[in-house]
Amino acid sequence: MPNPSVFLLTVNGQIEGANFPDYDSLYCKYCYVYGHDWAPTTGLEEGITQITSKSTQSHRLIWNFPLEITFKSTNPSGWPQLVVSVYGPDVFGNDVVRGYGATHIPFTPGQHTRTIPMFVPEPTWRLQKFTGWLLGRRPEYTDPKVVAQGEGREVTRVRSQGFVTVSFHIMTKDMKKMGYDAGPSSPSAVQSEAQSYVK
Amino acid sequence: MERMAASSEIREKLRNKRRALQDTLVKNKNEDDIQALVPSARFNVDQQPTAMKEAEGSDEDPGETLRRTFRAQRQRRKKKLLEQSFVQECHDAEDAEEVPNARRHSANEGSADRADDSVVSTRPPTGSQRALSVRSEDSSSSQHLDTYVTRHLQEKLRAARSKGESLQQQEASEVSAEPVSRLQRLKNRDTVTRFDREAEPISAGRQDDPLALRSRVKFREAGRRVVKDLPTAEEAFNFFTFNYEPEPPSQQEGVSRKRQKRRERVKKDKGEDSQEEAEVEEDAEAEEDNQDQNEYQSEDAPLVRNEDDLFAIDHSPQDFVEMRKAEYVAYRKRVQRDRELLFTPSFRTVPTSVKLPENMKPRFLEDEGLYVGERPPVSLTNENILENRILKMAEGNKWFGDDGKVIALPDPIKESSTRPPLFHMEGDLDPALQTVYRKALKSKYANLYIAGAADPEGDYQLDVDVSGLIFSHHPLFSREHVLASRLAQLYDQHLSRQHNNLTGHLTDKLNGLRNALQNMMKIHGEQGSSEALRQRISEYSLEVRNTRQLRDTEQEKDRTLLRSVIKVWKEIKALREFQKFTNTPFKLYLRRENVDRASDERDYEGEILAEVLELEAESEGEYQKKLAEYKKQLEDWKLWRRKQKAKRKKKKKKKKGLAQEDTEEEDQDQDESESEGPFEEGPAKPQPPERPDVDSMEQWVREKASRIRRKPGEAILIPELSASGSITASELCPRAEIARREDVSRRSLFIKILYNDKEVSRTDSRSLSADFRVHFGQIFNLKIINCPHSINLQVFEEVGSSCSLLAQVFVPVPDPSVVTGSAPIEEFEFSSNQRVMFDHEGVGSDVPLSFESDGSNRLTLLTSGKLSCCVSWGIGEEGVPLAPPVSQQPGGTHSGRWHLDAVSYIGASGLYDMKKIGEWATQSRLDPNDPKNTSIMQLLKVASSGEVTAPDYFRLEHLQEEFNFVTDEELERSRRFRLLRLRNQEAPEFRNYKFVPLLEREVSDKVFQDYEKRLKDGEIIDTREHLDPHRALVAKYLQKIRESVINRFILAKHFYQLSDLVTEEEIPSIGILGINLFKLAESKRPLKPQRKERKKVTAQNLSDGDIKLLINVIRAHNIPIRKPLGNKPGQSSQSALQGSDWYLSQVQVRPFVEVSFQRTVLQTTTADGPNPSWNEELQLPFSAPNGDYSTSSLQSVKDEVFINIFDEVLYETGPGGKERGTSIHTQIEKHWLGSVKIPFSTVYSQSKIDGAFKVNTPAVLLGYSREHGGSSSVYDQWRSTHGGTFLRLFLTIEPQLVPGESVREKIKEAEFDSQEDERLLQAAEKFEKEAAQGFPDRPCITTVTDLSGKTVFITRYVRPLNPPQEFLDAFPNNPQEATTLVARFVSLIPSLPDQVSFSGTCDLWSTCDQFLTLLAGDEEEHAVLLCNYFLFLGKRAWLVIGTAIPEGTTVYVLTHEQSGYFIWNPSSGQFYNKDDSFCPLQTVGCLVNADNVWYNVQENPSPLNTNFDITKSNMWKPFFSRSFSHPGLSSVQPEELVYRPIDRAAAAELQDRVEKILKEKIMEWRPRHPTRWNRYCNTTLKQFLPKLEQSRGQDVAEGHRLELQNLLGDYRIAGFPLHLPFSEIRPIIEAVHSTGVHNIHSANVEFALAVYVHPYPNNVLSVWVYLASLVRT
């Protein structure tokens, strides 16, 4: 039997950094969530960044953590999503979660930058909020991948936290051949160039 | 240096010029050098980085001299050119901008001028705003120009040259006062904002780099400028630069350079500059290519900089935004400032003297004996604050009374609330006041919007012009008015008739016709008659007659009208005469027009003659016609007559024969003709027509003429009505008339305009005038959105304050072509049938009224009138009519339905109803030729032709097809889509299917094979697998239940709870919180290690190899020991005799444990003795099916952990049996001793299992004995009675997996229906919750789920049920035996954990009959059945819900007998005394019987320490208590169990098949070795098995062994019987395989195998497999 036809999606990029006004010394975990018809062929599927702190000048957290992965797929359904979760120490030094967020890997080839808003689940009770704060055990998702799915989210309450910026460089192979047209090659890239020119 | 200065100077000049071209600031054009200097200074101030660079370049790059010279030359050239143009432009700009500069110049002289100029030029180029500010600054000469730069420069210059100016001196004095700070400021100050800030002294210490740079650069420039006049440039430069900040970072240069470039580009694009400039720039750019960029930068920066000035747009926000420190205001100052603005009223009491006018003593009314009310309590502080505040105000004193207190009401608070009381009770409310809910009515026009009304052009306007109204009758009419209005009407008629002049028209026509007729007659007479001509003549004469008749009627009408006009006028005159006053101004004049009598008479006569002639001719013609007709009729009649006669004759002949006489006939004939006439209905004999009487005709004509026509010679009367008459003044009128007139004057009228039944406007109210006319003259512009449906004008009459509706006038909606201006005012008549009567002169309405004196000829008049108004479409500003397009208009008719637009007419849904569309199309008279309508017409045509019948169903998604990307058939056919759909439906085969192929052809048909097979096999039962049709049926049934339950769970799985998604700390109680807080403070104790909770891992992140099963094999107890082999039968006794010797010398047993799980087999080291201790940890990898580590998948893992205990036996074999030491061949054999099976699901759900497991040992172990020779301790004694081997194990999964959420709870969430009472369910939930809070480790179950998924209370399952009768009969006298038999029977029913079967930790409780039908069940089913049997046997029995090893939460049975309490393991049939420490039951949670549930609230839950006396409420908490009594729950169990009889034949058949299969399997497992079967042994073993069954596995081993040894003396036998309940063949094979008997590889091994299946009622089968290996010694 010949090799099944697949198309490939190569993601290069980096978790550039984050903007968490209130927190410092954070690190970031990432993983991908994808459908049944997807499989990573090469690259790291999960990773943890270094811990980064803010500088006195800039209030951004910089990770510059490279992402590199290639997926093969037979079906655009279940397009991969990047799930990032940010952790860091709280006042007492306990490692607590600072945010969850997810974004789809961009569809179109080219360069993309995504700013992912981050959020954390809220405690059910005030008291829990207090004890969670005190004991460093904040509510966490059973699985960070929850944020990439829609089901069951209605039972949770979340609070927004900050932003994580991720840049992607997308390449696809055989998408068009398989009949999937991801649209213009890179309108965003063109746009960004134009913007820089104006500046 | 000089040269450099020169070059820079040139550049600066250039810059300056360009700037001058562009900007407004003009320098003194006479001073070239100054000009040159000025812009550079300005520039540098504005833009420090580039200038900076320049300075650097000029100073530091002497190596570039050559290049620079070139450039300088070029610049010079350019400068010259520029100067020429510049001069011109300067003149222009001068007027505007020179003024301030000029002034300054006058003030400053000499070299100071330059400096000053530079100051001026520092004005930023941002635009007029700044220019303005500068100007104002300059004009106020008192303001010193203390730009710090300036000052600085001035100071320096003065120091150098000691030259002073008056202005500068002034400044200098200031400057010298604080030279240090000034310098500082100089550095840091922003020169741009300097002008605005100079008044404020607060400016110290700005540190912004760019600003500092800016000013610094300027200094350099200034310095360079100074070079010109000063002796040395170097000196000045050093002076200016040596104490400044370090060089700016070079990156700024880069930035500015980039910016420059861009600007250059911009400039180029704009092309504003002169040719020369462009040239220069090109040069510059060319240079850029081969020059050092920095260098280039420094050289060209100023040039570019100018460009920047040109395009103010290019300023970045930083150019405008000033960065500076926050202002600090000293605290004291701030306080002071605050004090000026703020007032804080003091708390202190105001002395009374302040509050009163001076020299007044407070006067207390109270003291004077007057009553003073008690003031409401106000806190003293607030009162003081208020008083203080009031006093602060102007005239504050007047707020205070004589007593020095604030004037106030005695008690400003009202006693009772002014708000009306609210009635809460509905009953109290007066029924008349009660509110009634009425549903809001939706206007039926609300949705009929004009298409396109939404868009701005689509505002349509209707202009309603209400000009006025005239009453033709009004109740307040006096009699005279009635007559007058009649007269007016008649006169109007007359006028309109006159206007139309119908009579004249008709007369002319008649004359014309007559002439034509005469002509024709003439022709006729001459040429004879032709048919056509005669026809025409007759037509003409007919026409003449008609016309004449018409004319006559018209003439008559005219005449009558005239007469009635005159008559009414006479009546009016009579009335006026009679009543002696005049009410109406009407006067009728009759104008006479005399005529020429002769000609008139002639005409008259001629007319009459002509008419008579015509009439004669007509009547003649008529006569002729009639005559002809008469003749014809006569003929007919005669003919008929003749026929009659003939007939009669014939009759007679027939009657009387031939003999009759003729005469008689004649007579007869006559008679009959007379008598028969009427009978026979013959036509009457026609009468001949009369000749017309010409004379009478003339008479008639004359009469008529005199009636309808003016008599010849009579004057023509022309009435003229005029309103010139005078009305009698009111004073002269009688009282009744005065009252009437007053009444009239009181009346006023207005008109409401209703648009689509909604009032949109109303006219002003106008009073009724005496002539009963009202003039409104108002135009209302209605902007409309809705389709105009009706326009209704309602006439209201107001009398005083009351108004009443008089009449309504419906005005038609105008045609779109009717627009304001062109539309004529129309009159609409209205009338009202109100009855009004007055007691004054007013005639009233609907009241009979007579003008005759005798009261006859009464007439009744109703209020009526005419409303003149005009409705038209408005005209927009451009003269565009604001009317909706014609296509949207109704088809000309106002009434009926509105067919603006199909959608609005029939509604959107109706569009799919062909009938409605057709209806609409016909009603709206759709133009079939309009291209817009083609589609509709086509549709209608198709629909009406019947070929395509319009669907009568509702087309909801008529666009669905557009969204279908393939057709349905294709979707069905496509394997890929099918695969995707099945996966989406979570069909079991495809639930986790990965990589659905991308292309259709890559989907192989194989994929569906399993699925299709399953679908197909739905009904077919495969007996091969199960060996038993019934089991196969059951398996199918189970499968179905499983599917339905799984579907339910899949549903339930999608109900998410917070805990499914978010892990969160439990709400801590205060105690725990306290402990935790305490822990924080607790010191660390590293030597006291604490057990840490392992972190739980969610299953999703896992992959193969991540999960390991850890098994810690600790030790075993009571392992069977080898028996010494003896060839002789007596040896055993001998060995027994040897006793302790043997025991000590011989190796008893060398056991090891082998664990197999998922094809992985691991074993421990070998230990010694019957009570070995291994203490070893084994790690077995675990992989989930399909790599799916989701919770549901893990829950459904069916794999079991097999833990087998083997004895390692070493045999010395080989030839060297006697020559020991030379060569010894040892052979290792392992003999199976027993096994423990633990399902993975148990480990998974409990996360760890720790305890002593009873090893499932065979009843007989050939070659082994459980008795430990020689030992006869009490312990052994006791143990022998139990005969158990125990293995202590610890099992867990690493990492710890989060056990699956109990679906049970989810089911509760999902609210599976229940038949239980809601109250009971709530109580149960509460009970369980309380139990879980009290003792979280003790299970408590009150409600369970039955097979249909319904929640059932647990006590319903308990009910005495009959065991099979055979058991009762077997031991009639021994109830104990019967009990054990029953227990065995129950244990023989195969166990099938629910978790495995129902993929989820869901306990489904089947009833006993279901259980017996399914023949598979969990512990609870076994327990329930056993308990019910025990109850039937008359025992006191309970279900025990607790935790046990290894099942976890499980159900056991407790019985109470005389000897005490016994605990039964229903799955194994074993029973334990309550005090038995080896009882697998670990905790007792609750007890259940048919009546109640008791929860264990005792301290220690182990059965050993539990008191089972349920009556003690402090130990057992009952569910049903006095407060909540048992509601009498009926049992779900059947009344009686029916068992199928024992089927021995089937058992025998099964036995053979199992044996055959097992033998095949064993041979299969030994592919490389021959497998020999010892037939003799087989048969022998087979004989043993029934005995074993009978003894229920009791120890009969000794007999066996002896017997066998007798038979097979030469063999070393190792063997054992396996006992299993029968469910399927596979477990049997597994069990046999796990013993590893087949692994003996010695060459001379033989095997023996025997199978025995013992049937029990209801197809419960007990399977015995006897396995033995024989090695010939």
pLDDT for B698 equals 76
What is the chain A residue with the closest CA to B258?
A199
Mean pLDDT, rounded, for B1159-1176? 84
What is the DSSP-derived secondary structure letter of residue B1673? -
Place of tokens 């562009």: B22
**Cβ separation of A140 and B1063 shorter than 8 Å?**
yes
Any chain A CB within 8 A of the CB of B1078? no
Partner residue facing A74 (CB), from B998, B1065, B1067 = B998
Taking alpha carbons only, the member of B236, B240, B190 closest to residue B212 is B190
Per residue in B866-901, pLDDT (tens digit) is 888 888 887 776 667 777 665 444 433 333 344 444
Q: Which residues of A touch B1103 (CB under 8 A)?
A: none
CA dist., res. B744 & res. B739, Å (int): 9
**For residue B1553, what are the CA distances in angstroms to B1025, B1452, B1627?**
12, 35, 15
Any chain A CB within 8 A of the CB of B180? no
pLDDT at B221 over 70: no
What confidence tier does B953 reach under pLDDT thresholds 50, 70, 90?
low
Partner residue facing A121 (CB), from B996, B1062, B1068 = B1062
pLDDT at B269 over 60: no
Size of interface A-B (CB pairs under 8 A): 98
More confident residue, B1286 or B52: B1286
Partner residue facing B995 (CB), from A4, A7, A123 = A4
**Cβ separation of B996 and A37 shorter than 8 Å?**
yes
Hey, what are B1346's tokens? 């039955």
What is the DSSP-derived secondary structure letter of residue B968? H
What is the chain A residue with the closest CA to B1056?
A152
Per residue in B206-218, pLDDT (tens digit) is 444 444 444 444 4
Partner residue facing A4 (CB), from B997, B1060, B1062 = B997
Taking alpha carbons only, the member of B138, B146, B202 closest to residue B169 is B146
More confident residue, B239 or B537: B537
How far apart are the CA of A47 and the nearest CA of chain B, in angstroms? 13
Burial class (CB within 10 angstroms; exposed 0-12, middle 13-18, buried 19+) of B211: buried
**For residue A175, what are the CA distances in angstroms to A107, B999, B1519, B1531?**
10, 13, 66, 64
Partner residue facing A142 (CB), from B996, B1061, B1067 = B1061
> Sign (positive/negative) of CA torsion B1513, B1517, B1523, B1528?
negative
- Neighbouring CB atoms inside 10 A of B567's CB total 14
Q: Which residues of B touch A130 (CB under 8 A)?
A: none
> Sign (positive/negative) of CA torsion B1294, B1295, B1299, B1300?
negative
CA dist., res. A30 & res. A166, Å (int): 11
More confident residue, B1222 or A86: A86
How far apart are the CA of B177 and the nearest CA of chain A, in angstroms? 39
Long-range contacts of B1139-1142 (CB under 8 A, 24+ apart): B1139/B1269, B1139/B1270, B1140/B1269, B1140/B1270, B1142/B1269
Burial class (CB within 10 angstroms; exposed 0-12, middle 13-18, buried 19+) of B398: exposed
Partner residue facing A37 (CB), from B995, B1061, B1062 = B995
**Cβ separation of A141 and B993 shorter than 8 Å?**
no
Q: Which residues of A touch B1057 (CB under 8 A)?
A: 155
**Cβ separation of A142 and B1076 shorter than 8 Å?**
no
Which pTM value belongs to this model? 0.46
Q: Which residues of B touch A124 (CB under 8 A)?
A: 1058, 1064, 1067
Q: Which residues of A touch B995 (CB under 8 A)?
A: 4, 6, 36-37, 39, 74
Q: Which residues of A touch B975 (CB under 8 A)?
A: none
pLDDT at B1656 over 80: yes
Mean pLDDT, rounded, for B791-803? 82
Q: Which residues of B touch A37 (CB under 8 A)?
A: 994-996
Any chain A CB within 8 A of the CB of B1101? yes
Q: Which residues of A touch B (CB under 8 A)?
A: 1, 4-7, 31, 36-37, 39, 74-75, 77, 121, 123-125, 127-128, 131-132, 134-135, 137, 139-143, 145-146, 151-156, 178
Place of tokens 């647990």: B1354
Long-range contacts of B565-570 (CB under 8 A, 24+ apart): B565/B487, B565/B490, B565/B491, B565/B494, B565/B719, B566/B590, B566/B717, B566/B719, B568/B483, B568/B486, B568/B487, B568/B490, B569/B487, B569/B719
pLDDT for B66 equals 53
pLDDT at B945 over 70: no
CB A185 within 8 A of CB A20: no
Phi, psi of A40 (to 5 degrees): -75, 135
CB B241 within 8 A of CB B215: no
Taking alpha carbons only, the member of B44, B22, B7 closest to residue B119 is B44
Mean pLDDT, rounded, for B1562-1572? 83
What is the chain A residue with the closest CA to B1074?
A131
pLDDT for A68 equals 93
Mean pLDDT, rounded, for B1030-1051? 70
pLDDT for A69 equals 94
**Cβ separation of B1076 and A143 shorter than 8 Å?**
no
**Cβ separation of B993 and A36 shorter than 8 Å?**
yes
Q: Which residues of B touch A141 (CB under 8 A)?
A: 1061-1063
What is the chain A residue with the closest CA to B1190?
A143
Hey, what are B1509's tokens? 């006396």
Computed over every residue of chain B, the mean pLDDT equals 69
Residue from B259, B974, B1065, B1298 to probe the interface with A (highest A Cβ count within 10 Å)? B1065
CA dist., res. B164 & res. B178, Å (int): 19
CATH 2.60.40.150 fits A7-178, yes or no: yes
Place of tokens 């300023």: B315
Partner residue facing B983 (CB), from A36, A74, A145 = A36
Any chain A CB within 8 A of the CB of B413? no
pLDDT for B1069 equals 64
**Cβ separation of B1065 and A152 shorter than 8 Å?**
no
Place of tokens 């840490």: B1092
pLDDT at B291 over 60: no
- Enumerate the β-bridge partners of residue A73: A7, A38
**Cβ separation of B1067 and A125 shorter than 8 Å?**
yes
> Sign (positive/negative) of CA torsion B336, B338, B340, B342?
negative
A96-100, B192-196, B532-536, B1454-1458: which range is least confident on average?
Answer: B192-196
Phi, psi of B912 (to 5 degrees): -95, 0
CA dist., res. B1412 & res. B370, Å (int): 104
B603-617, B727-741, B792-806, B1275-1289: which range is least confident on average?
Answer: B1275-1289
**For residue B212, what are the CA distances in angstroms to A2, B46, B47, B248, B1434?**
73, 12, 11, 10, 107
Any chain A CB within 8 A of the CB of B1004? yes
Per residue in B650-688, pLDDT (tens digit) is 766 665 555 444 444 444 444 444 444 444 455 566 677
Any chain A CB within 8 A of the CB of B409? no
CB B242 within 8 A of CB B37: no
Residue from A30, A122, A138, A143 to probe the interface with B (highest B Cβ count within 10 Å)? A143
**Cβ separation of B1064 and A128 shorter than 8 Å?**
yes
Alpha helices in B350-440 (DSSP H): 352-355, 380-392
> B553: part of which helix (H) or strand (E)?
helix B531-579
CA dist., res. B642 & res. B636, Å (int): 10
B59-73, B958-972, B1313-1327: which range is least confident on average?
Answer: B59-73
Q: Which residues of B touch A75 (CB under 8 A)?
A: 980, 996, 998
